Chain A
Amino acid sequence: MIVFDKNSQQQLIDLNKSKNIALEGNIAKVIDADDNIEFKEYLDFCISKDKEIRRRRLEITKQVQIQNKELSELNLENQRIMTELQNTLTSVEESKSQIELQNRELTSWKEDNQRIGQELRESMIKSEQARIEAENAKHVAMNDLDLLQKKSQTELISVIVKVSLGVIITVGVITTIMYMISLYMNKDTQIIGSTWSNMLGILLTNAFSIIGTIMGVKYASKEN
Chain B
Amino acid sequence: MIDSILLVDDEDLFHLVFEDACSLLDISLSLKSLNSSDEAAKLFKRWLTGDNSDRPECVFVDLNIIGSSFDGIELIRKINFEYGNNVVIGIISSSDEPEEQAKALQAGAQFWIIKSDDIEPRLDEFRQDYESYKNRTAPFKIYK
Residues of A at the B interface (CB closer than 8 Å) are 25-26, 29-30, 50-51, 54-55, 57-58, 61-62, 64-66, 68
Contact = CB atoms under 8 A, between A and B. Distances in A.
Contacts of A26: 23, 29-30
Contact of A62 (B17, B24, B26, B30): B17
B11 to A, nearest CB: 8
Contact of B13 (A29, A51, A55, A68): A68
17 contacts: A25-B23, A26-B30, A30-B29, A50-B23, A51-B23, A51-B24, A54-B20, A54-B23, A57-B16, A58-B16, A58-B17, A58-B20, A61-B13, A61-B17, A62-B17, A62-B117, A65-B17
Nearest to A56: B20
Interface in B1-58: 13-14, 16-17, 20-21, 23-24, 26, 29-30
A66 B20 contact: no
For chain A, what secondary structure do more than half of its interface residues adopt (helix, strand, loop), or is it mixed? helix
A25 B29 CA distance: 9
A61 B18 CA distance: 10
For chain B, what secondary structure do more than half of its interface residues adopt (helix, strand, loop), or is it mixed? helix
A98 B65 CA distance: 45
Interface residues of B, number: 12
A58 B17 CA distance: 6
B21 A58 contact: yes
Across the A-B interface, give the 7 residue pairs with the lowest CB-CB distance, nearest first. A58-B20, A26-B29, A54-B20, A61-B16, A65-B13, A61-B17, A54-B23
Contacts of B30: 26
Given A29-B29, A30-B29, A57 B13 contact: no
Contacts of A64: 13
B93 to A, nearest CB: 14
Contacts of B117: 62, 65-66
B14 A65 contact: yes
A26 B29 CA distance: 6
B20 A61 contact: yes
A55 B24 contact: yes
B135 to A, nearest CB: 25
Contact of A57 (B14, B20, B26, B29): B20
Nearest to A60: B16
Given A55-B20, A57-B16, A57-B20, 7 more contacts: A26-B29, A50-B23, A51-B23, A51-B24, A61-B17, A65-B13, A65-B17
Nearest to A53: B20
B69 to A, nearest CB: 23
